[in-house]
């Protein structure tokens, strides 16, 4: 993972030092339980814990010779811990340590991500309420539809990110499992049993996988990385909305822009939505990584090692990128400049065409068929569109339409309040729910 897109907590969590520390944490949890159950000498765990020192460079040197990372780790621990280390890794196989430690780190990464997401939810809630009553034109296919409010736009995103939070919690539960079950998961080795496994994993805050082969099954990891990919897609969705609303032709929002920030090496006037664009780009990586995780699911028999190289890349990358993206998006939403006056101007660009549905329904209420009513309104709407004319003026001048709607009835349609009548009810449905 390149440091440009990695924050400190994630960088530390996915460092090589942290990896070996997690391995040692798993090994010592098993040692302690084995000692408590009389399976190894009682003094062993304390002696190993007191003497064992992790030496990353020494592990690398041993691995260069033995070509096996866990053997290199166990050998280096034995070099520093002394005779007691003959009970270290007792009855375990490499994947017991690798997979359990990976689950440990993935749950800790998820806790960081959940905290980040809670911050984004708070920012979205606050800004949604700030602009609850700020009218903005709704757009379908990029074309003016009917007005909504900017607060309602943000409320929709809040509700979506709350769903993503529930998905993350489910993925955390799925991945928060370990195994201490031996070479093919059947507890055949001395010192290992379902009871040892359960007690050791409880010390780590994990549950036993009900059944495992030599590995924890990779559908669990695929679920985890898919949850991150869905979150990344939702983040990109919000980033794309900001990018569109920031276009010169719209000018409804702006990303925060620092006093010394520059937008272009050639054009001094430029203020580009580079933060949102960055989120769009990184989302592609997180989504692609979820596909790689799915490819890891169908391993051979009790295990093969084809998943290992993939996970060394996608675990730190996806977790770190998600953490970075959430922090950046929260900052953008918190500090973005919103232009309600420009939103109001843009609503009127189409000369009131957004009232077409209400006019259609009024004619239906007068006894016209929907086809007849549609033809009356579309005729005037298309003319207003092509001639850049005022829609209401054309309607008032239409003699055929006057047979069904009076001028007063047409005027009554062109009032904005009906578009916002349900805003309070929608806000209540969105923000009165718990996030869990």
**353-413 classified as CATH 3.30.460.90:** no
Task: State what percent of residues in the chain have pLDDT above 70.
Answer: 100
> Both ends of the chain: CA-CA distance in Å?
31
Sequence-distant (6+) residues with CB within 8 A of 133 are 149, 151, 420, 423
Q: Degrees (nearest 5) of the Cα angle 166, 168, 171?
A: 115
Could you report the per-residue pLDDT of 355-388, keeping only the tens digit for each? Answer: 999 999 999 999 999 999 999 999 999 999 899 8
Mean pLDDT of the chain: 95
Q: Strand 177-178 and strand 207-208: pairing? A: parallel
**pLDDT for res 433:** 84
Render pLDDT for 93-127 as a digit per residue (tens, 0 to 9).
999 999 999 999 999 999 999 999 999 999 999 99
Place of tokens 């007005």: 147
Q: Where are the domains of the chain?
A: 8-255+270-342, 353-413
Could you tell me the pLDDT band of residue 264, with boundaries at 50, 70 and 90? confident
How much is the pLDDT for 166? 97
Give pTM, 2 decimals. Answer: 0.94
pLDDT digits (tens, 9 = 90+) for 399-430: 999 999 999 999 999 988 889 999 999 999 99
Distance, in Å, from the CA atom of 96 to the CA atom of 5, rounded to the nearest integer, reads 31
Q: Within a 10 A sphere around the Cβ of 376, how many other Cβ atoms?
A: 20
Is 386 annotated as catalytic?
no
Reported as half-sphere exposure (CB side, CA atoms, 13 A), residue 14 has a value of 25
Determine which one of 140, 141, 301, 386 is catalytic.
141
Task: Please state, in angstroms and as integers, the Cα–Cα distance from residue 339 to each residue in 131, 148, 417, following that order.
Answer: 10, 15, 20
How much is the pLDDT for 259?
85
Whether residue 436 has pLDDT greater than 80: no
Whether residue 434 has pLDDT greater than 90: no
Residues recorded for the chain: 436
For residue 51, is it left (φ>0), alpha (ψ between -120 and 50) or beta? alpha
8-255+270-342 fold: Fumarase C; Chain A, domain 2 (1.20.200)
Residue of 15, 264, 309, 406 marked active site: 264
Among the residues of 219-355, which ranges form H helices?
219-245, 274-295, 306-335, 340-347
pLDDT band at 267 (very low <50, low <70, confident <90, very high): confident
174 vs 99: CA distance, rounded Å: 13
Does 141 qualify as catalytic in the annotation?
Answer: yes
Give dist(CA 32, CA 192) in Å, integer: 12
CA distance 414 to 391: 10
Comparing 58-62, 103-107, 224-228, 260-264, which segment has the lowest mean pLDDT? 260-264
Q: What is the pLDDT of residue 200?
A: 98
Q: In the predicted model, is pLDDT for residue 1 greater than 80?
A: no
* Residue 273 pLDDT exceeds 90: yes
Q: Is residue 88 within 8 Å of 204, Cβ to Cβ?
A: no
Interatomic CA distance for residues 11 and 19, integer angstroms: 11
Burial 152-171 (b: 16+ CB within 10 A, else e): bbbbbbbbbbbebbebbeeb
């Amino acid at each position: 993972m390149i440091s440009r897109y990695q924050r400190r907590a994630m960088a530390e969590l996915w460092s090589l030092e942290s990896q070996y520390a997690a391995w040692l944490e798993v090994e010592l949890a098993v040692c302690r339980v084995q000692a408590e159950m009389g399976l190894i000498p009682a003094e062993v765990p304390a002696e190993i814990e007191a003497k064992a020192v992790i030496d990353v460079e020494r592990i690398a040197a041993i691995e260069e010779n033995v070509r096996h990372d866990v053997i290199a780790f166990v050998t280096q621990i034995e070099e520093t811990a002394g005779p007691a280390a003959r009970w270290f890794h007792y009855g375990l196989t490499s994947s017991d340590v690798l997979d359990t430690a990976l689950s440990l780190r993935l749950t800790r990464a998820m806790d960081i991500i959940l905290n980040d997401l809670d911050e984004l939810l708070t920012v979205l809630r606050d800004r949604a309420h700030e602009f609850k009553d700020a009218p903005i034109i709704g757009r379908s296919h990029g074309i003016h539809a009917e007005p909504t409010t900017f607060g309602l736009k943000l409320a929709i995103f809040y509700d979506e990110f709350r769903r993503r939070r529930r998905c993350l919690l489910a993925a955390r539960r799925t991945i928060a499992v370990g195994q201490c079950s031996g070479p093919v998961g059947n507890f055949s080795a001395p010192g290992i049993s379902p009871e040892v496994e359960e007690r050791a994993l409880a010390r780590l805050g994990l549950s036993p996988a009900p059944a495992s082969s030599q590995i924890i099954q990779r559908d669990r990891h695929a679920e985890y990385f898919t949850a991150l990919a869905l979150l990344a897609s939702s983040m990109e969705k919000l980033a794309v909305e900001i990018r569109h609303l920031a276009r010169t032709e719209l000018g409804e929002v702006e990303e925060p822009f620092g006093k010394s920030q520059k937008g272009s090496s050639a054009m001094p006037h430029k203020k580009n939505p580079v933060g949102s664009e960055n989120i769009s780009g990184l989302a592609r990586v997180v989504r692609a990584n979820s596909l790689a995780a799915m490819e890891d699911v169908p391993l051979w028999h009790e295990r093969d090692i084809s998943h290992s190289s993939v996970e060394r890349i996608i675990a730190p990358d996806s977790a770190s990128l998600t953490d970075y993206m959430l922090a950046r998006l929260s900052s953008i939403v918190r500090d973005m400049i919103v232009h309600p006056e420009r939103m109001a101007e843009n609503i009127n660009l189409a000369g009131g065409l957004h009232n077409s549905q209400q006019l259609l329904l009024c004619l239906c209420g007068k006894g016209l068929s929907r086809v007849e009513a549609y033809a009356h309104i579309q005729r005037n709407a298309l003319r207003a569109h092509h001639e850049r004319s005022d829609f209401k003026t054309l309607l008032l001048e239409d003699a055929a339409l006057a047979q069904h709607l009076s001028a007063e009835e047409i005027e009554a349609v062109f009032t904005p309040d009906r578009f916002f009548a349900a805003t309070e009810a929608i806000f209540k449905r969105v923000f009165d729910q718990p996030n869990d």
